[in-house]
Amino acid sequence: MASGTQAPRGCARRVAARVGTQAIQPYRWLWVAAVMVGSVVSLPAVWAFADIANGLMAVPNLVSLLLLSGVLVGETRAYLWSGGIEASAESGQRFAGLER
């Protein structure tokens, strides 16, 4: 687990892998600014920001669930109508047809 001093470097590497190395320096400045603001702002404001950030992270997941719901329904129907439930019950496997 990364300590507080190692976290900016590890995260900066992940940002650089996605965006490019030109994003490392602005990301580090943003990290320092967030640490400074978080140290002087009231605790309820910090928790409110954390709650909002967590809520916003759920948005892309919810959108992808909606977009993939047709695929999920199709795969579930195919599994159920192909006898997947009966095969898993007879063999004692939890998920028949899903090999690791």
Counting every residue, how long is the chain? 100
Tell me how far apart the alpha carbons of residues 90 and 51 are, in angstroms, rounded to a whole number.
46
Q: Examine the pLDDT at 48 and tell me if it is beyond 90.
A: yes
pLDDT of residue 1: 45
Tell me: the pLDDT tens digits for 74-96? 888 887 787 766 666 566 556 55
Burial group, residue 27, by CB count within 10 angstroms (0-12, 13-18, 19+): middle
Q: Examine the pLDDT at 55 and tell me if it is beyond 50.
A: yes
Total-model pTM: 0.48
DSSP state letter for 1: -
Q: What residue ranges do the domains of the chain occupy?
A: 1-40, 42-100
